[in-house]
């Protein structure tokens, strides 16, 4: 009985994990990202793009949306924000004994910001069909060697919404080869390639694995009954559920066990 009660009690150690969520002009999904952190048991901390103070966070989410209206290139202007300089510094810090570099997750526009900041390799161009696509998407979690995916089984299939116009991941042949050889393709599209991404890549990690970016939106798949509309191309006989929440839970578990 006591054991059961303990199991149901919220883990107060998780609540101590502070996860920063960055907002730029034009960001859309910061509230959903903060909510996903909260539902996973952590504490979301708003970070404003013009500030240079990381507010003592243990990890950062760069959420989706249309920062600066996607002018110039999606994510290009946001990448120059003072907050991104701080995120880049903490994410690439050498770290003294025991201190790990800051875990960072870029979702969709956030992934675009991370490539423009050069924290992640490659670039995103227009979907090959030149349309905005919004649908539930099957993905394989190919690497569990990141704090964001450690709770998954390698190769596990998940479903989360995909919604963007500039979702085609491109990189030169050498970069693609290195990503594949080093196990840094973290998420890959399953089924028909929804946007022409090279090698069906939906998400990648940096060499150390602490920085991950992906085009689909795990923060929109944190409760049963939600999901994208079933318009768009490809197979649609699926709905997003709570798979996305596990990306946030995974981070929290990693940080409390570190
Ligand atoms: N959902 C998003 O974050 C969209 C990202 C970007 N504005 C695009 O359309 O490609």
Are the beta carbons of 122 and 171 closer than 8 angstroms? yes
- Measured CA to CA, the distance from residue 224 to residue 222 in angstroms comes to 7
pLDDT of residue 232: 46
Q: What is the mean pLDDT of residues 28-33?
A: 98
pLDDT of residue 43: 98
pLDDT of residue 229: 52
- Measured CA to CA, the distance from residue 13 to residue 102 in angstroms comes to 18
By most ligand atoms within 8 Å of CB, the mutation choice from 108, 167, 219 for ligand 1 is: 108
- Average pLDDT across the chain, whole number: 91
CATH topology of domain 2-257: Rossmann fold (3.40.50)
Active site residue 217: yes
Q: Which two tokens stand for residue 133?
A: 């696509």
Are the beta carbons of 36 and 218 closer than 8 angstroms? yes
Tell me which residues have their CB closer than 6 angstroms to ligand 1. 64-66, 70, 74, 108-109, 163-167
Q: How confident is the model at residue 185 (pLDDT cuts 50, 70, 90)?
A: very high
pLDDT at 7 over 70: no
- Measured CA to CA, the distance from residue 172 to residue 245 in angstroms comes to 32
- 3-state DSSP call for residue 169? strand
How many C-alpha atoms does 143 have within 13 Å on its Cβ side?
27
The residue contributing the CA closest to ligand 1 atom 4 is 164
State the CB neighbour count (10 A cutoff) for residue 102: 22
Q: What is the mean pLDDT of residues 47-70?
A: 98
pLDDT of residue 11: 81
Among 9-13, 17-21, 151-155, 185-189, the range scoring the smallest mean pLDDT is 9-13
Among 44-48, 91-95, 197-201, the range scoring the smallest mean pLDDT is 91-95
pLDDT of residue 254: 96
Q: What is the mean pLDDT of residues 172-201?
A: 98
- Residue spans of the domains in the chain: they are 2-257
- Measured CA to CA, the distance from residue 142 to residue 21 in angstroms comes to 25
Active site residue: 108, 116, 220, 253, which one?
A: 108
pLDDT of residue 2: 45
Complex confidence, ipTM: 0.97
The residue contributing the CA closest to ligand 1 atom 10 is 166
- Measured CA to CA, the distance from residue 45 to residue 17 in angstroms comes to 10
Q: What is the mean pLDDT of residues 34-56?
A: 98
pLDDT tens digits, 200-251 = 999 999 999 999 999 999 999 999 877 665 444 444 445 668 999 999 999 9
Active site residue: 30, 116, 142, 217, which one?
A: 217
Active site residue 108: yes
The residue contributing the CA closest to ligand 1 atom 5 is 109
Active site residue 134: no
pLDDT at 1 over 50: no
Q: What is the mean pLDDT of residues 35-47?
A: 98
Among 162-171, 193-202, 238-247, the range scoring the smallest mean pLDDT is 238-247
Ligand 1 center from residue 187 Cα (angstroms): 17
- Measured CA to CA, the distance from residue 203 to residue 171 in angstroms comes to 12
Ligand 1 center from residue 74 Cα (angstroms): 7
pLDDT of residue 139: 97
Ligand 1 center from residue 65 Cα (angstroms): 5
Q: What is the mean pLDDT of residues 69-90?
A: 97
pLDDT tens digits, 146-162 = 999 999 999 999 999 99
Q: What is the pTM of this model?
A: 0.92
- C-alpha to C-alpha distances, 83 to 52, 61, 66, 93, 115, nearest whole angstrom: 5, 12, 17, 15, 15
Active site residue: 86, 142, 219, 253, which one?
A: 219
């Amino acid at each position: 009985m006591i054991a059961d009660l303990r199991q149901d009690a919220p883990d107060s150690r998780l609540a101590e994990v502070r996860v920063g969520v960055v907002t730029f002009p034009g960001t859309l999904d910061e509230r959903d990202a903060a909510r996903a952190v909260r539902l996973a048991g952590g504490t979301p901390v708003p970070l404003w793009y013009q500030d240079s103070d990381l507010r003592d966070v243990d990890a950062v989410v760069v959420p989706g949306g249309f920062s600066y209206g996607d002018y110039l290139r999606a994510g290009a202007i946001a990448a120059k924000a003072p907050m991104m300089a701080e995120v880049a510094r903490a994410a690439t810090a050498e770290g003294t004994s025991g201190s790990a570099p800051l875990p960072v997750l870029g979702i969709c526009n956030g992934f675009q910001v991370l490539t423009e900041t050069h924290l992640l390799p490659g670039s995103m161009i227009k979907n090959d069909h030149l349309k905005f696509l919004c649908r539930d998407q099957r993905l394989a979690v190919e690497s569990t060697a990141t704090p964001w995916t450690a709770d998954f089984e390698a190769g596990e299939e998940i479903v989360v919404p995909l919604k963007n116009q500039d979702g085609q991941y491109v990189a030169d042949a050498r970069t693609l080869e290195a990503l594949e050889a080093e196990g840094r393709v973290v998420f890959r599209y399953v089924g028909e390639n929804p946007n022409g991404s090279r090698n069906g890549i939906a998400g990648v990690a940096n060499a150390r694995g602490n920085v991950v970016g992906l085009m689909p939106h795990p923060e929109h798949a944190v409760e049963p009954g939600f999901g994208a509309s079933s318009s768009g191309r490809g197979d649609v006989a699926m709905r997003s559920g709570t798979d996305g929440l596990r990306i946030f839970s995974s981070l929290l578990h990693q940080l409390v066990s570190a």
